[in-house]
Amino acid sequence: MVNTRLLIFLLSLMGLLLAGKSAYAQQDTDLVAEADAAYSIGAKMLALDNYQLALKANPENLRANFMTGKCILETIDKGRASKFLIKAYQLDPNVSGDILYLIGQAFQLGREFDNAVVYYKQYKAKVEADPAARKLKSTKALLVKIDERIVQCENGKKYTEDPLEYTIRNLGEGVNTGSPDYAPAINKDETMIIFTSRREGSTGIGNVDQDLLFFEDIYVSYFKNNKWQPAVNIGTHINTEFHDASIGLSGDGKELFLYKDENGGDIYVARMQDDSTWSKAEPISDKINSKYNENSVSLSPDNKTLFFTSDRPGGKGGTDIYYSQLDKKGRWGKPVNMGAPINTAADDDGPFIDYDGKTLYFSSRAHAGMGGFDIFVSEFDSISKKWSEPVNIGYPINTPDDDIYFVKSGDSKYGYYASVKDGGMGEKDIYKVMIPENVQDYKGLKSRKIEGKKPGLPVVALNLQPVTLRVRILNEKGEVMNAKLSVKSKEIDTELGTRQMATGIYQSSLSNAGTQDYIISVEADGYMFRNVDVTVPAMQGQEQLVQKDITMAKLEVGFQAILRNIYFEFDKAVFKTESYPELNQLERMMKENPAFRIEIAGHTDFVGGDEYNKELSHRRATAVVNYLIRKGIDASRLTAQGYGEEKPLATNDDEKEGRELNRRTQFKVLGDNKITSR
């Protein structure tokens, strides 16, 4: 690590000063220069904040638009990048040689696959028509890369339109924070989870690395009283002053595998001692570690075979998966490259050998993916001594972004992995996946892929017709308008594929064995986001159409709305996990509409004393404000106000129709927050 503590300190101070930037006049060119300096050292979130401040001062700034899109592509909410990249392209089509490719990538990551293909094809045509490009040796590889992206988009449409019925749940506050939390390792009976986090409280030097994020540390949480307990730092005998990451755990929870950024990147192992403390971590083996990078590991159930990844020479390309077997003296043998069909010319990573000892889950940038790393599964045939052709484990676990480090429980009913999701608590969160019985192994997933069966449906259901859900988005004048729309099953918390049929008209094909409730989420620049419930009937022998019109409300001074899906723990100002999707929608709306200041207002019913209710409602409003500030929203744009029981919407005589409606969080647009150039 480069020692840049003084620079980090100065940049951190600069970040604090910029948090109140709206109080000062500053030219957009100055802000862009500050953003460029932050970006150059890898502080991309700070850079993004400053590029967006520059856009507030001057929405036509070419570099601010381009770099805002680029930073978003390299951080979170990546689908948001298309708006800024398209604006940059409109300002100057030559802003960057790969601008069309970047726009395609942004649409792909936003699951707008048809739009992505349009821009990828435009970029391909541009490259093929360029005489100078045709002379370059690298052009052939570039054209192959573009074609791969187009195929990924075709796969993405297929997978999202035919999701598997996984139920994915955020592990919640015991494990996740507003900081990146990832690389879960769990024991066989799911009583202990060990993971990596870049949260506050790191043992690292000065706490933050040069990207202004806290150093990686390893944390542990235990499952007690039917929930994950607050995670604790595993201790300074494991965590050091630099980056420390957990990469694997034996099924019995007795051996913990770690990654250390030493000797090119090595695997270490610590063992649980009789008093339940961990031994000092030691290098696993000279046979496993090399001068190249070894960074993920999985131990077989009998503890005799170790699967790991390495980018050492002699592989099929990029990062490959290897295995090593324990000899009679208890030493790891010479590593063997797993070869085809597991490894490819691209990166293959994150192996997990299931508890049956023959089913391997891993991530790959190749095979039949939908973008980034996808998770695949393969099965070893003990007779032929060969691994089967890998099968994509499907959407919604896999997305167009990176999905990696998937592990399973001992009974195969559950999986755990880290992902960046709209409803998450931080950049990366750890999720638990409930896996339907018929796709808990390789054969089930392969059958699902080949036969196209819907999980959980009887065979006769295959002759029924899916229900078409058609949604029309209208503006305040009743005119159709484009928006970002998603459809999610409320029962299994799964987002389904949606196609845009025309301006403002979107369609999903839904295969329900019975009546099912969905939530339609709509977001658009300059408008209040909407979350609308819709009930879709079961499939029948004939086609069915469910139509829904959603009218968007324009954001303007004086506009008020109730945030219906922000929930708090009883008598506390602590969010429930199900609040985060709406909180993140509010965050995105604030980022997309930087000119507005808002008031967050808390309201209660009349149960309890007046003063207590007012204080509780203020704490809850403040919790929302603080969440938005942590997410990078300028504090000067936010006001918290607690009204207690002063402003009821309904009578307090009835719980369902009265008191429940009165316990609410609202926001109001107060006015402009423009930065003026000096």
Residues 6 or more apart whose Cβ sits within 8 Å of residue 603:
617, 643, 644, 645, 646, 647, 648, 649, 662, 663, 664, 665, 666
What is residue 541's predicted lDDT score, i.e. its pLDDT?
84
CA 337 from chain centre, in angstroms, equals 31
* pLDDT score of 8: 46
Res. 454: pLDDT tops 50: no
Can you tell me whether residue 573 is helix, strand or coil?
coil
Q: Which of 176-190, 393-407, 636-650 has the weakest average pLDDT?
A: 636-650
Q: Is the pTM of this model over 0.95?
A: no
**Spans of all domains in the chain:** 5-161, 169-451, 459-551, 560-672
User: Is the pLDDT assigned to residue 539 strictly greater than 90?
Assistant: no
Indicate the CATH number for domain 459-551. 2.60.40.10
Decide if pLDDT at 455 tops 60: no
Half-sphere exposure of 148 (CA within 13 A, CB side): 15
For residues 334 and 340, the answer to whether their CB atoms sit within 8 Å is no
Stretch 486-490: mean pLDDT, rounded? Answer: 85
Neighbouring residues of 40: CB distance < 8 A, sequence distance ≥ 6: none
Which numeric CATH code is attached to 560-672? Answer: 3.30.1330.60
pLDDT for the residue numbered 492: 66
Instruction: State which fold the 169-451 domain adopts.
Output: Neuraminidase (2.120.10)
* 394 and 495 Cβ atoms separated by less than 8 Å: no
Both structure tokens of 412 = 């195969």
- What is the CATH class of 5-161? mainly alpha
% pLDDT > 90, the chain: 56
